[in-house]
């Protein structure tokens, strides 16, 4: 653009602006001035209006003058000098007029608002100006817009033309001029006032100016040139220290608005406001703040408000964030402190995101419920979780909009640590229980595919089965092998229903491929190359096969490596000093079922910390210290482990979930018994460890001497002796099922023996068992007499023994066993009429008699469960002896009864003939 063109457009611009001003004058200002004021307030307003009119005309005049001068210069002189342009060397004066008039308009705008009825008549006139898409909100708003808009546009136009001119002439001077112009416009000079209204954020017509530091100095010391404006709903700080920093000034003003109003308090963390204002200002501020907090705009500013002068530092109100960043456009309603959301509140984003919960330092912190709309569907993901500095961390529950539910730990908004993800949808229901890393399945985990009726137990990497894994199926077939990114690799071991074992490569559909070895239950082995249909190069061998007792997973998944995500959280809790407020985020919610949790959303949000909440951590630790004596400790642990409120109880609960996820249903597979048994024992060890950790912490906090560290052996004894019986009921159903499956064959054989023996009459059976060896006459007398009546001998002992299946605790089972023995002995003593100590030779047959009559179905499973899980201190002792006696009866019935089968049958026939 040439210089001439630039001047032409400048002229045209001036012309347009002039015309615009004329129009405003005739349509708005003139009618306004004609309306006579009739009351006091009206008169005051009228005075302001006159002032406005004054300024308006001054501006108009300047514009006209400028226009004329410019035209003249341009037409008379052919050689054009940049200095000739009026606006450049008279920039100051010219702009001041702009600013003044603009300020007046705004001031009048604020004034008019309280008196808007007067303008109703002029509505039509205003509407003419409102055609260009400005939403009609209120008369005053419209007026304000009308008065301000042309001027703003005019200034913009100016700067545009000036830029072009400067490009054309290439003179430095032009730039200098323009730069000196801009700060005038955006920054602040001490004489000008309200041009700040250019800032969109502040331009609200319903805003009333309550005080200006120009009128009433805010600071005792006058050294500062800052200006402070107090509006009905905002406080604005204006600084001019740095002339060149237009954008910066703009920003700081807007953030000033965001952060300090209406929360402004003079101990605010921002140094700009860390100043002590004068008393009147303080008072006015407090009033304004109160007023704003009360939400009444027309609250009389000078009235005597009840209560103290200081508005509370922590307060409740609603605010919409405007600064850039995560919270932009979000509305927060709730408690604030020091200018930031803190306490309970609700945060709503325009996209429908909604967070209800605890806040701290302006961020989500603590428990919260967050709804996040899903991209495509009309559904929400609902997070009930703990937040830490704006991100999810700790325990949470997420109900995804797609019917999946995650219950577990988060970190930085991602699933991390132990967690259970369940999909209950119809198409592909599944459940994953295990370790998460970076929102993906990573580490040890159990995957239940409900459609296929399959369960994968093993290692994961980035949502794929990866590493060692076990697959168990509903039919009982199971295998263990390596996976690589969900694909099976290498050879594995496959355990078939018919007790044959295949070692080699096989497909997911359980087809043998390649080299392999198939061992049948009868001991025959096929070794060679298999294809889908046939095997080649087979060999046979006769080695006894024990596949039914083959155990999976023992070396591949050491107990220590399973579920460490659960222990980690607890450890974190203890290490962080068991802070009450973090308890839940570490140990999970105490609500028992998910159904209950869904119902209790309100509870979770509002009434937390009320009477339902877990006992105070302090009390928990205190109790811990006071129940250290062995007797008290046992009761205490029992209580605590059954409580869904206590951290230890919660730990047990989570472990139960993990255990059930692995070993219930499809996981009830005899090849997993050792894994399960080992795991339960490990739980006991861990719980004892954590108990000790808690105790240690409690003692430390109370400044009491710490208990000396237990060595491993003592620790194990306590874990197995004290903790195991207490936690066993949680795992008993799955565990005893596994024992039953493991001992199924032996138990069947034994049951057969029992059936055979049941064909005997009591007497015959005793005879058969050689009981009568020593005291034939005595026993025969006894049993004949009894038999006549009820055909029941040693009834009390038999009934006693049957109770063994009614209890869970191995110790109690052992006590039942001892009682049974005592019953036998007392019966014998009664018959013999004297104290009779039974030697083993006599005890065993009698015991066998009682065992066979008690006909406990899964005796083998019982015996082994007791032996594996009983207090290790019993080993070699009297209980062990009794258990061994029972076991020997069991084995004996199993092994020898069959040999006597024929004989049995005959004698029973004999006895029936009698």
Partner 1 sequence: MMAIRELKVCLLGDTGVGKSSIVCRFVQDHFDHNISPTIGASFMTKTVPCGNELHKFLIWDTAGQERFHSLAPMYYRGSAAAVIVYDITKQDSFHTLKKWVKELKEHGPENIVMAIAGNKCDLSDIREVPMKDAKEYAETIGAIVVETSAKNAVNIEELFQGISRQIPPLDSHENGNNGAIKLGKQTTQMNRRCC
DSSP state of 644: S
Measuring CA to CA, which residue among 659, 697, 660 is closest to residue 678?
659
Distance CA 693, CA 54 (A): 81
Interacting residues with partner 1 between 789 and 848 (CB under 8 A): 811, 821, 825, 837-844
Of 877, 903, 906, 909, which lies in the binding site for partner 1, with binding defined by CB under 8 A?
Answer: 877
The least CB distance from residue 642 to Mg ion, in Å, is 47
The three state secondary structure string of 447-489 is EEECCCCEEEEEEEECCEEEEEEEEEECCCCEEEEEEECCEEE
Distance CA 801, CA 830 (A): 19
Rg (CA), the chain: 45
Binding site partner of 884, from Mg ion, partner 1, ligand GTP, none, Cβ cut-off 5-8 A by kind: partner 1
Of 895, 906, 909, 912, which lies in the binding site for partner 1, with binding defined by CB under 8 A?
Answer: 895
Interacting residues with partner 1 between 392 and 431 (CB under 8 A): none
The residue number whose beta carbon is nearest to ligand GTP equals 841
Site pattern 828..847 for Mg ion (x: CB under 5 A): -----------x--------
Six-digit token pair at 684?
Answer: 């006991």
Interaction of residue 868 with partner 1, rule CB under 8 A: no
The answer for residues whose C-beta is within 8 angstroms of residue 221's C-beta and 6 or more apart is none
Q: Is 306 helix (H, G, I), strand (E, B) or coil?
A: coil
Is 799 in contact with 850 (CB distance < 8 Å)? no
The least CB distance from residue 885 to partner 1, in Å, is 8
Measuring CA to CA, which residue among 460, 453, 504 is closest to residue 477?
453
Is 798 in contact with 853 (CB distance < 8 Å)? yes
Q: Residue 509's CB: how many other CB atoms inside 10 A? A: 6
**How many helical (H) and strand (E) elements, i.e. helices and strands, does the chain have?**
29, 22
Q: Given the rule CB under 8 A, which of 120-128, 259-267, 735-743, 872-880 is the region that contacts partner 1?
A: 872-880
Measuring CA to CA, which residue among 212, 9, 2 is closest to residue 106?
212
Distance CA 575, CA 227 (A): 51
Q: Closer CB to partner 1, residue 223 or residue 839?
A: 839
Six-digit token pair at 871?
Answer: 């207090």
Q: How far is CA 754 from the centre of its chain?
A: 56
Interaction of residue 718 with partner 1, rule CB under 8 A: yes
Measuring CA to CA, which residue among 267, 205, 269, 195 is closest to residue 236?
195
Binding site partner of 413, from Mg ion, partner 1, ligand GTP, none, Cβ cut-off 5-8 A by kind: none
Of 5, 791, 841, 903, which lies in the binding site for ligand GTP, with binding defined by CB under 6 A?
Answer: 841
With contacts defined by CB under 8 A, how many residues of the chain interact with partner 1?
41
Binding site partner of 844, from Mg ion, partner 1, ligand GTP, none, Cβ cut-off 5-8 A by kind: partner 1
Cis peptide before 751 (omega within 30 of 0): no
The least CB distance from residue 503 to partner 1, in Å, is 28
The least CB distance from residue 501 to Mg ion, in Å, is 43
Looking at the DSSP bridge assignments, the partners of residue 535 are 530
The least CB distance from residue 565 to partner 1, in Å, is 31
With contacts defined by CB under 6 A, how many residues of the chain interact with ligand GTP?
2
Binding site partner of 219, from partner 1, Mg ion, ligand GTP, none, Cβ cut-off 5-8 A by kind: none
Q: Given the rule CB under 8 A, which of 293-301, 435-443, 790-798, 888-896 is the region that contacts partner 1?
A: 888-896
The least CB distance from residue 841 to ligand GTP, in Å, is 4
Interacting residues with ligand GTP between 58 and 117 (CB under 6 A): none
Binding site partner of 385, from Mg ion, partner 1, ligand GTP, none, Cβ cut-off 5-8 A by kind: none
Could you give the dihedral angle defined by the CA atoms of residues 790, 796, 797 and 800, in that order, rounded to the nearest 10 degrees? 130
Binding site partner of 114, from partner 1, ligand GTP, Mg ion, none, Cβ cut-off 5-8 A by kind: none
Interaction of residue 896 with partner 1, rule CB under 8 A: yes
Q: Closer CB to ligand GTP, residue 462 or residue 841?
A: 841
Is 277 in contact with 235 (CB distance < 8 Å)? no
Nearest-5° angle of CA 584, CA 585, CA 590?
Answer: 30
Q: Closer CB to ligand GTP, residue 606 or residue 840?
A: 840
Interacting residues with partner 1 between 606 and 645 (CB under 8 A): 630-631, 634-635, 638
| Residue ranges in contact with ligand GTP by CB under 6 A | 839, 841
| Residue ranges in contact with partner 1 by CB under 8 A | 630-631, 634-635, 638, 711, 713-714, 717-718, 721-722, 725, 811, 821, 825, 837-844, 871, 873-878, 881-882, 884-885, 887-888, 891-892, 895-896
| Residue ranges in contact with Mg ion by CB under 5 A | 839
């Amino acid at each position: 653009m040439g210089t001439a063109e630039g001047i032409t457009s400048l002229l045209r611009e001036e012309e347009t602006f002039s015309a615009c001003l004329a129009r405003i004058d005739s349509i708005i200002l003139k009618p306004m001035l004609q309306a006579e004021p009739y009351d006091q307030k009206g008169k005051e307003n009228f005075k302001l209006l006159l002032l406005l009119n004054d300024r308006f005309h001054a501006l108009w005049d300047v514009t006209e003058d400028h226009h004329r001068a410019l035209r003249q210069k341009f037409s008379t002189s052919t050689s054009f000098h940049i200095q000739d342009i009026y606006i450049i060397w008279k920039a100051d004066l010219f702009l001041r007029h702009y600013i003044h008039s603009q300020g007046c308009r705004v001031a009048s705008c604020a004034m008019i608002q309280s008196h808007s009825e007067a303008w109703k008549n002029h509505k039509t006139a205003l509407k003419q100006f409102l055609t260009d898409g400005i939403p009609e909100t209120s008369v005053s708003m419209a007026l304000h817009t009308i008065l301000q808009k042309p001027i703003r546009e005019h200034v913009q136009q100016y700067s545009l033309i000036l830029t072009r001119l400067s490009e054309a002439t290439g003179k430095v001077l032009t730039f200098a001029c323009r730069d000196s112009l801009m700060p005038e416009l955006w920054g602040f000079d001490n004489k000008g006032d309200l041009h700040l209204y250019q800032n969109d954020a502040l331009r609200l017509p319903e805003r009333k100016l309550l005080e200006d530091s120009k009128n009433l100095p805010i600071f005792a010391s006058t050294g500062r040139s800052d200006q402070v404006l107090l509006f009905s709903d905002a406080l604005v700080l204006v600084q001019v220290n740095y002339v060149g920093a237009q954008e910066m000034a703009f920003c700081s003003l807007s953030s000033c608005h965001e952060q300090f109003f209406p929360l402004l308090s003079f101990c605010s963390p921002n140094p700009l406001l860390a100043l002590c204002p004068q008393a009147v200002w303080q008072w006015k501020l407090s009033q304004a703040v109160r007023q704003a907090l009360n939400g009444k705009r027309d609250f009389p500013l000078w009235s005597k408000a009840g209560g103290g002068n200081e508005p509370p530092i922590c307060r409740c109100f609603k605010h919409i964030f405007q600064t850039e960043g995560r919270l932009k456009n979000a509305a927060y309603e709730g408690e604030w402190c020091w200018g930031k959301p803190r306490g309970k509140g609700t945060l709503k984003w325009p996209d429908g995101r909604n967070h209800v919960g605890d806040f701290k330092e302006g961020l989500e912190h603590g428990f919260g419920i967050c709804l996040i709309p899903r991209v495509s569907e009309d559904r929400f993901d609902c997070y009930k979780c703990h937040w830490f500095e704006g991100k999810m961390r700790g325990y949470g529950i997420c109900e995804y909009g797609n019917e999946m539910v995650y219950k577990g730990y988060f970190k930085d908004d991602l699933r991390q640590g132990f967690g259970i993800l369940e999909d209950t949808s119809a198409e592909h229901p599944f459940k994953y229980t295990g370790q998460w890393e970076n929102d993906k399945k990573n580490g040890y985990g159990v995957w239940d595919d409900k459609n296929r009726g399959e369960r994968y137990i093993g290692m994961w990497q980035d949502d794929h089965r990866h590493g060692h894994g076990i697959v168990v199926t509903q039919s009982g077939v199971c295998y263990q092998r390596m996976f690589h990114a969900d694909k099976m690799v290498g050879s594995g071991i496959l355990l078939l229903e018919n007790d044959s074992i295949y070692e080699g490569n096989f497909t997911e559909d359980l087809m043998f491929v390649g080299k392999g070895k198939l061992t049948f239950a009868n001991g025959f082995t096929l070794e060679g190359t298999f294809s889908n249909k046939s095997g080649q190069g087979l060999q046979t061998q006769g080695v006894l096969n024990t596949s039914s007792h083959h155990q999976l997973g023992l070396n591949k998944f050491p107990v220590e490596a399973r579920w460490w995500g659960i222990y980690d959280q607890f450890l974190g809790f203890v290490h962080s000093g068991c802070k009450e407020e973090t308890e839940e985020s570490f140990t999970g919610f105490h609500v028992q079922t998910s159904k209950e949790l869904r119902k209790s959303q309100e509870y979770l949000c509002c009434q937390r910390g009320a009477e339902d909440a877990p006992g105070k951590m302090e009390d928990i630790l205190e109790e811990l210290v006071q129940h250290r004596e062995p007797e008290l400790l046992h009761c205490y642990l029992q209580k605590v482990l059954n409580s869904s409120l206590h951290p230890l109880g919660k730990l047990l609960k989570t472990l139960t979930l993990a255990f059930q996820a692995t070993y219930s249903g499809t996981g009830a597979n005899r090849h997993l018994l050792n894994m399960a048994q080992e795991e339960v024992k490990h739980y006991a060890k861990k719980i004892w460890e954590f108990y000790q950790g808690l105790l240690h912490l409690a003692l430390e906090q109370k400044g009491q001497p710490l208990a000396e560290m237990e060595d491993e052996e003592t620790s194990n004894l306590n874990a197995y002796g004290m903790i195991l019986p207490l936690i066993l009921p949680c795992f008993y159903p799955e565990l005893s099922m596994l024992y039953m499956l493991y001992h199924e064959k032996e138990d069947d054989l034994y049951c057969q023996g029992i059936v055979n023996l049941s064909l005997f009459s009591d007497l015959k059976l005793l005879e058969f068992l050689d009981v009568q060896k020593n005291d034939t006459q005595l026993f025969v007398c006894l049993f004949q007499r009894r038999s006549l009546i009820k055909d029941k001998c040693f009834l009390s002992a038999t009934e006693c023994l049957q109770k063994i299946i009614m209890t869970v605790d191995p110790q109690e089972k052992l006590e039942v066993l001892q009682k049974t023995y005592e019953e036998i002995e007392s019966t014998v003593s009664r018959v013999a009429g004297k104290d009779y100590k039974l030697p083993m030779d006599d005890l065993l047959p009698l015991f066998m008699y009682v065992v066979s009559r008690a006909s406990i179905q899964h005796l083998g499973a019982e015996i082994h469960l007791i032996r594996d899980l009983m207090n290790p201190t019993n080993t070699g002792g009297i209980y062990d002896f009794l258990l061994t006696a029972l076991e020997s009866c069991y084995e004996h019935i199993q092994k020898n009864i069959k040999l006597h089968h024929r004989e049995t049958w005959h004698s029973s026939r004999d006895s029936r003939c009698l």
